Amino acid sequence: MSQGLSPTRPLSPRAMHAPLVCLLLSCAVALSGAGVVLDGGLPIMWAHSTGTLTDLPVIDGKLAPDPWHYLQRMSLYRLIIAQTDSFMGPMGPGENQSPLWGLPLQVGWMLSSGRLVDPTGATTCGNLENNMCISPSSWWGCVNYFSSVLPFLSAAHKEFFGAGVPVEMQIPAGLEGYCTTYDTCKTAHPDAMNKWDAFYQGLIDSKTSTLTDIEKKDAILGLYWDAALASTHASSPAAVCGDKLNSYSGQEKAFAQSWQNAGEYVAAVYFQSSLDLAAQFMAPLPGRILKEEDSPPNIPDLTAEENHSLYIFSWIQSMDSLMASTFGGTLVGTWRQAMCSVAARESGREMLTNLLLTQDGATANFLSIVSTMSLSCS
């Protein structure tokens, strides 16, 4: 764990300004319609974020990151990963095995696909001339706030950045519904904060645990996904993020909802969202915001892989609705029940990989296999 906070002045706008490479990247995305997941083998703009705590702003003696600036939000992830990486030995050999890598990759995809832009068009936030701005009107930026700020505040509380480092996030004037300190987030979202605290405590405890590395890995991933899902759930109420979906097309709204639903499946298998594996799963995500006239899986300017991922997300969502109306249950509930052991979760990871990354009719056998697996766990 790093040493405590030292006094420093806030970063100047110039110091955190988007370099030309990002403007060129944004132009490429706008022209091609293709999403971008990696930048030099790392999350987008990772090299321009900071891995040094004292590079972030300090206001009135408190660390005061601005999570509405893309590079500062990315820096939250970079700092968390740096300070927890020494606890990730059970994740396997090689570098970048931490499941936390999925989080910066996710916000990078949101940036490259234009999902952090103000969808109302009322401001230039997120546009090329202001492309490091994360719009408070963006549903995607709102949901991701809880997946970046909550784990950072919990990590600070558990002293991964040193003892007694006070943190208070900056927030645009007049913006409501966002907690900014550990205490206010603990009050507003106790389930999510408790689960992030449990995740970090699990990392600490793993150092002295007598469990095998396989058992430690399964336990750490379970704690991680509990916390990650709780963060998403914290953003779900209409008063927080939900109403922001009304600024998007019906197709984008449907995709956003199915994207959230798909996260439940990924979480249930304790997916190891390492840098390489998470990038593999995110690469087929749509590289632009969907328009009303888009009709997946037949969107001409998206790749076959992007069209397939949209089809699979929609199919899973429709199967959930069908099962709920017909049997009173959901596919995701059956899926969770089936993922009842280390071996079952390994099979589940293989099934998801086949479902999302191949186009060989994997949906045909998915329901029957899941149903059979769930019976073996009952």
Residue 249 CB burial class (10 angstroms; 0-12, 13-18, ≥19): middle
What are 104-115's pLDDT values in tens digits? 999 999 999 999
Task: List the structure tokens of 221.
Answer: 């991933």
Q: Give the mean model confidence (pLDDT) for residues 200-208.
A: 96
Per-residue model confidence (pLDDT) at position 375? 63
The token duo for 39 is: 């930048």
- C-alpha to C-alpha distance for 160 and 59, rounded to whole angstroms: 21
Cα distance between residue 157 and residue 160, in whole Å = 8
DSSP symbol at 175: -
Which amino acid would we find at residue 40?
G
For residue 161, what are the β-bridge partners?
none
Query: CA torsion 315→227→186→167, rounded to 10°?
Result: -110
Q: Which of 47-56, 243-252, 295-304, 335-344 has the lowest mean pLDDT?
A: 335-344
Q: What is the DSSP letter of 237?
A: S
Q: Are 176 and 100 in contact, with CB atoms under 8 Å apart?
A: no
Residue 145 makes CB contacts below 8 A (sequence gap 6+) with 67, 178, 235
Taking the CB of residue 334, how many other CB atoms lie within 10 A of it?
19
What is the DSSP secondary-structure string of 92-117?
Answer: -SSS---GGGHHHHHHHHHHHTTTTS
Q: What is the pLDDT of residues 78-106, one digit of tens each?
A: 999 999 999 999 999 988 999 999 999 99
Its pTM stands at 0.89
The predicted structure's pLDDT at residue 23: 44
- The whole-angstrom separation of Cα 166 and Cα 56 is 13
With bands split at pLDDT 50, 70 and 90, how would you rate the model's confidence at 361?
Answer: low
Determine the 3-state secondary structure of 224 from DSSP. helix
Is residue 6 pLDDT above 50, yes or no?
A: no
Q: Give me the pLDDT at residue 186, please.
A: 98
Residues in the chain: 378
CB-based contacts of 78, cutoff 8 Å, min separation 6: 46, 49, 50, 51, 104
Q: Look over the chain and give the mean of its residue pLDDT values, rounded to a whole number.
A: 87
194-197-199 Cα angle (round to 5): 110
Per-residue model confidence as pLDDT tens digits over 24-39: 444 334 333 445 789 9
Q: What is the CA radius of gyration of the chain?
A: 20
Query: Domain map of the chain by residue range?
Result: 7-247, 250-378
The band of 197, judged by pLDDT with boundaries at 50, 70 and 90, is very high
For position 10, what pLDDT does the model report?
40
pLDDT 10s digits, 134-193: 999 999 999 999 999 999 999 999 999 999 999 999 999 889 889 999 999 999 999 999
Say if residues 68 and 134 touch (Cβ distance below 8 Å): yes
